[in-house]
Amino acid sequence: NAQMPYSPQHYLPTPPTTSPLFRNKEVTDLDPIADINIHEMIQSIIADKMEDEAAFFAADLSAVFQAVQMWRQSPMGERVEIFYAVKCNPSPPVLHLLSLLGLSFDCASTSEVTQVLSLPVKPNPKRIIYANPCKPASHIRAAQAQGVEMMTFDNADELYKIKRLYPQAKLVLRMLTDDSKSLCRLGLKYGAPLSTCPGLFAVAKQLGLNVIGVSFHVGSGCKDPMLFADAIWRARKVFDMGKSAGYDFTLLDVGGGFERATFAEMSQVVRDSLDLYFPVELGIRVIAEPGRLLVSSAFTLATHIIARRRAIPSGIAMPSSPKEDISEEDQGNEEGTDVMYYINDGVYGSFNCIMFDHQIVHPYPLSLGHSPTWAVPSFPPPPNVHLPVDLSVKLGYVENEKASVWGPTCDSIDCVRETVKLPKGLEVGDWLGWGEMGAYTLCAASTFNG
């Protein structure tokens, strides 16, 4: 719970324990290789819950740790510093771990800055970039009071505002770049087109403001690594425009948009483009603002089946959801569904990622007929869940049926999956798990319908 008052006791592994979660192993503080299987952990929580049906998240922070390691060991790892995008998942344990790992932060509001500066290991405010090009005046004043120096802009009014409120700020121009291959096209809202950059630099110079560099964002959930090459090439042009205006930029911010599936290629593309357009000898500091990449796979959501109905007759319109990322096997055919499940989290809650972040979520049964599913062979678990092989073999084949999965509110848009194959025998009171739920989920959940 992001709102939970912060206390390290909430998540730090306890000293050696007899809990089955830790398999009687010695678990040291933040030991990344401690053998804690998140699936077992969730099963154990469910077993302890008895009558408590509340949906819950389980987080495997070692996945966050491993994502940071992956970044650091990647081709761009040595050159590109991480400023974690807090908005993506501001859970206190995540922020605390990242601060312990020496990361810096991208904040988008005063409350994010305050949260980061309240961490037990308080980062230097100079390690925060206020990466929101359109800020309320009060937030700019607060940034100054909190010692945050770096902030982005993409328009002249913002420059006048900053001149009035915080003229010493270190400014970073957010330029527009091609985000057409991304799930969330941030360029629709932010980013100065290249043609406007010389004018903006001229205004900044006239106001005596300190512009230190350039940032961009290729869009969240970027599918095409080559967009980074294009953006870094554009950034070179903007650096040159800055030079003509009398600035000598020292910072390049390559933003977020990184995804696990394409990370290896993206990292190589960024590295090669930097070598080409911003070689090390120039001494340019390069930072990035990854969000999704670091947290997505670390969080699993467990939801309770609160109701079940035989499916509505086919022919009744269902809310549509994007289908490209759903395998045919998973979708079933188009002739409607056999059964409708209602769960206790939906698109107004943690599954807001379906609406706002265009995510497609994949359920797997955590229990079947009230028995834990250590393995149901017909259900490949999400990549971060490792089921014991012996049990997979012991359990027989479970027949599937086509289902739709709905959230708890009285709104028909609250559909989590329109069609998905789930095993026959799921009952009210069983649990469904959802992997890859760490990015843009709990941070934007509402309490609609109470």
Q: Cite the active site residues.
A: 410
Distance between CA 131 and CA 322 in Å, rounded? Answer: 30
Q: What span, in angstroms and rounded, lies between the C-alpha atoms of 288 and 227?
A: 15
Per CB under 6 A, the list member of 42, 85, 97, 376 interacting with ligand PLP is 85
Taking the complex as a whole, how short is the minimal distance between the CB of residue 290 and ligand PLP, in angstroms?
5
Asked if residues 128 and 147 have their Cβ atoms less than 8 Å apart, the reply is no
- Minimum Å distance from CB 133 to ligand PLP? 8
* Comparison of 143 and 439: residue with beta carbon closer to ligand PLP: 439
Shortest distance (Å) from residue 93 CB to ligand PLP? 18
Question: Which of 71, 258, 341, 379 is the binder for ligand PLP (CB under 6 A)?
Answer: 258
Residue count, binding to ligand PLP (CB under 6 A): 18
Burial status of residue 440 (CB atoms within 10 A of its CB: 0-12, 13-18, 19 or more) = buried
Sign of CA dihedral 340, 368, 301, 391: negative
Q: What minimum distance in Å lies between the beta carbon of 357 and ligand PLP?
A: 9
Which positions from 289 through 308 interact with ligand PLP, judged by CB under 6 A? Answer: 289-293
Of 401, 160, 127, 423, which is closest to residue 285 (Cα–Cα)?
127
Smallest gap from residue 256 Cβ to ligand PLP (A): 3
Contact by Cβ (8 Å): 11, 61? yes
From the list 234-242, 288-296, 315-323, 368-376, the region that binds ligand PLP by CB under 6 A is 288-296
Which residue's entry shows tokens 């719970």? 1
Question: With binding defined as CB under 6 A, does residue 106 bind ligand PLP?
Answer: yes
Report if residue 39 touches ligand PLP, rule: CB under 6 A. no
Buried b (16+ CB within 10 A) or exposed e, 389-424: eeeeeebeebebebbbbbbbbeeeebbbbbbbbbbe
Put residue 122 in one of left, alpha, beta given phi > 0 → left and psi -120 to 50 → alpha. Answer: beta
The closest residue (CB) to ligand PLP is 256
Residue 239 CB-half CA count within 13 A: 20
Q: How far apart are CA 431 and CA 346, in angstroms?
A: 14
Q: Rank residues 142 and 254 by Cβ distance to ligand PLP and give the closer one.
A: 254
Bridge partners, 105 (sequence order): 84, 128
Task: Please state, in angstroms and rounded to a whole number, the distance separating the CA atoms of residues 351 and 235.
Answer: 35
**Looking at 39, 139, 217, 362, which residue binds ligand PLP (CB under 6 A)?**
217
Would you report the helix, strand and coil content of the chain in percent, each value rounded to 5?
35, 20, 45
Site string for ligand PLP, 384-423 (x = CB under 6 A): ----------------------------------------
Three-class DSSP category at 405: strand
187 binds ligand PLP (CB under 6 A): no
Q: Which of 103, 116, 186, 232 binds ligand PLP (CB under 6 A)?
A: 186
Identify any residues that bridge with 286 across adjacent strands, giving them in sequence order: 80, 252
Smallest distance from ligand PLP to CB 125, Å:
18
Q: Is residue 256 at the binding interface for ligand PLP, with CB under 6 A as the rule?
A: yes
Q: How far is the CB of 55 from ligand PLP (least distance, A)?
A: 23
Site map 123..152 versus ligand PLP, x via CB under 6 A: --------x---------------------
> Between residues 264 and 393, which has the closer beta carbon with respect to ligand PLP?
264
Contact between 88 and ligand PLP by CB under 6 A: the answer reads yes
User: Closer to ligand PLP at the Cβ: 292 or 362?
Assistant: 292
Specify the residue, 139 or 402, whose C-beta has the smaller distance to ligand PLP.
139
Q: Measured from the CB atom, is 220 or 419 closer to ligand PLP?
A: 220
Q: Which stretch binds ligand PLP (CB under 6 A): 95-103, 234-242, 284-292, 390-398?
A: 284-292
The 3-class secondary structure across 171-220, one letter per residue, is EEEEECCCCCCEEECHHHCCCECHHHHHHHHHHHHHCCCEEEEEECCCCE
Residues that bind ligand PLP (CB under 6 A): 85, 88, 106, 131, 186, 217, 220-221, 255-258, 289-293, 439
